[in-house]
Amino acid sequence: MRIAEPTLLTPGPLTTSQRTRQAMMVDWGSWDDRFNQLTASLCEQLLAIINGGDSHHCVPLQGSGTFAVEAAIGTLVPRDGKVLVLINGAYGKRLAKICEVLGRSFSTFETAEDEPTTAADVDRLLRGDASITHVALIHCETSTGILNPLAEIAHVIEQHGKRLIIDAMSSFGALPIDAQQVPFDALIAASGKCLEGVPGMGFVFARKEALAKTAGNSHSLAMDLFDQHTYMAKTGQWRFTPPTHVVAALHEALLQYNEEGGLPARHQRYDNNCQVLLDDMAKLGLRSFLPAAIQAPIIVTFHAPKDPRYQFKEFYERVKAKGFILYPGKLTQVETFRVGCIGHVNQADMHAAVAAVAEVLREMEILEI
């Protein structure tokens, strides 16, 4: 049975290319030399994106991005360490929850959902608590699309002699991060985001010297990045059954990434998508939640229409019927919905998506339209 293929305007899973989907049509043996070479090539290409080949290891891990975040915290933060978690959205809160569940001591600093954490905030917090060993930051907070000032914060953390763990789930591959300029112990991302692969694999870029000191830290067998890296370095194989089709799809997606022009080209396409989205939605009277200065070209949060006839579920289903899948809002104080700018989509797709939104709002007799 043929299933209609909607355009996913979400922050992952997202719309993938035909070539990427086709790459999953081959079965791989998990111990086969060709698959091991595929994994090695994948890690080499990923490290090149952050200029990290000399300083960091790429440790892939089965599961969603959250699995990789938990693995990074559990492996790189010693059991007597303390994490300062910087929060301005749902994924920062999730990071704090991971620390709680793992039994890692932590403190939090939370700003409003439209207010970036600043380097001055971090400087003050580190001066006030000498027991902090690590700082955990969401680079681009997917719940709103807000961009936090990574480079400035990273250098303050380095000046204090502390360690940085970056959740770059929604930014890696589209927003520049150079491991030789931004000091960090770990940067975490996943296959199904800006690289335009499919979900099912996370990866952690771990500073070589930091990872070498983590034996015995992990609370978990499966999520021990030290053991995962040690085993892969020795054998070329994953410790446990790898997501073979996901690896193959991501390898193919990376070939297309480089053909497109790498990070600068990917960033430009997403930036163009974002600008079209903002401009076209503004013409409908739909306002974005964030000001342009802190809006990353990854996902945009919009205020919902202030009309009693607007209900997100009906709005979502009607837009879906026209071929586009949006995302619900994730804010607690105001009603919003979100539209992703990433994936195998371009400006024409964004124009078409907003046209579909306009049609739906007319059908729903929303007053603003």
Q: What is the pLDDT of residue 2?
A: 43
| Mean pLDDT, residues 110-137 | 97
> Can you read off the two tokens belonging to residue 152?
């400035």
Helix axes 347-363, 262-283, angle to 10 degrees: 20
Q: What is the residue type of 119?
A: A
> Can you read off the two tokens belonging to residue 369?
């339209």
Q: How confident is the model at residue 332 (pLDDT cuts 50, 70, 90)?
A: low
18-258: CATH topology: Aspartate Aminotransferase; domain 2 (3.40.640)
Tell me the domain boundaries of the chain.
7-11+262-363, 18-258
| Mean pLDDT, residues 169-177 | 97
Res 184 pLDDT > 90:
yes
**Better-predicted residue by pLDDT, 55 or 333:** 55
**Residue 161 near residue 182 (C-beta atoms within 8 A):** no
Q: How confident is the model at residue 333 (pLDDT cuts 50, 70, 90)?
A: confident
DSSP track, 145-182: TEE--HHHHHHHHHHTT-EEEEE-TTTTTTS---TTTS
Q: What is the pLDDT of residue 46?
A: 98
pLDDT tens, position by position, 237-263:
999 999 999 999 999 999 999 999 999
Q: What is the residue type of 272?
A: N
What element of type H or E holds 315? helix 312-321
**Residue 345 near residue 10 (C-beta atoms within 8 A):** no
| Mean pLDDT, residues 177-193 | 97
| Mean pLDDT, residues 347-354 | 97
7-11+262-363: CATH topology: Aspartate Aminotransferase, domain 1 (3.90.1150)
What element of type H or E holds 336? strand 336-340
Res 3 pLDDT > 80:
no
What element of type H or E holds 49? helix 33-49
Same topology between domain 7-11+262-363 and domain 18-258:
no
| Mean pLDDT, residues 215-242 | 97
Distance CA 304, CA 321 (A): 19
Res 330 pLDDT > 50:
yes
Q: What is the residue type of 145?
A: G
pLDDT tens, position by position, 278-313:
999 999 999 999 998 999 999 999 999 989 899 999
Task: Cite the beta strand spans of 210-362 per DSSP E.
Answer: 299-303, 324-325, 327-328, 336-340
Q: How confident is the model at residue 334 (pLDDT cuts 50, 70, 90)?
A: confident
